[in-house]
Amino acid sequence: MPVDCSVMASGTGSAAKAEVELIAENRKARHDFFIEETCEAGLALLGTEVKALREHRTNLRDSYARIKNGEAFLHGVHIGAYAPAGAFGHAEKRPRKLLMHRREIDRLWGKVRERGYSLVPLRLYFKRGIAKVELALARGKRLYDKRAAIARKATRREIERTLKRRQR
């Protein structure tokens, strides 16, 4: 399964949007981190986990990826129980293996180890029926960075509001 770990384009075509079904998004990650680069990886899941994802029973808050012994794992992702499975369901917060090429894992590991980046999941989605996660190579924001970002957003909102009133 090929993994495209290049910087993802923000303006994807309409054909690509039709193939992608968003399951969950980690909006808090963009508030807490500077996103340097993103990449896509597959997930090794159990059957009940896939069915729970189709019902959107998941939460990416406080989740992260870690590389251990040359393999990438996703930690802290909560995938809720699939009710019809009963006692044969899955553990809701178990580490899940990420499906990536060795060279991509090694490249990410080098950046995380040397430069102090973190691997943070941004989105969980189905692409042509296969569960994928969008990982970000991110650097943590300090409190003053967050305050500056909030101030910029508020200023931009106020300017747009003023321009909208003038156009009427």
Express each pLDDT in 13-36 by its tens digit: 455 555 889 999 998 888 888 888
pTM tops 0.95, yes or no: no
Total residues belonging to the chain: 168
Q: How many CB atoms lie within 10 A of CB 20?
A: 14
CATH T-level fold of 14-141: Small Protein B; Chain: A; (2.40.280)
The identity of residue 86, as a single letter, is G
DSSP class of 163: H
pLDDT greater than 60 at residue 6: no
3-state secondary structure of 46: coil
Nearest to 152 by CA among 162, 144, 140, 164: 144
With a CB cutoff of 8 Å and minimum separation 6, the contacts of 140 are 32, 33, 34, 118
Question: pLDDT for 96-155, tens place per residue?
Answer: 999 999 999 999 998 888 887 889 999 999 999 899 999 999 888 888 778 888 899 999
Is the alpha carbon torsion for 163, 166, 167, 168 positive or negative? positive
Q: How many CB atoms lie within 10 A of CB 43?
A: 20
Which burial class, exposed, middle or buried, applies to 150 when counting CB atoms under 10 A from its CB (0-12, 13-18, 19+)? exposed
What does the pLDDT read at residue 89?
81
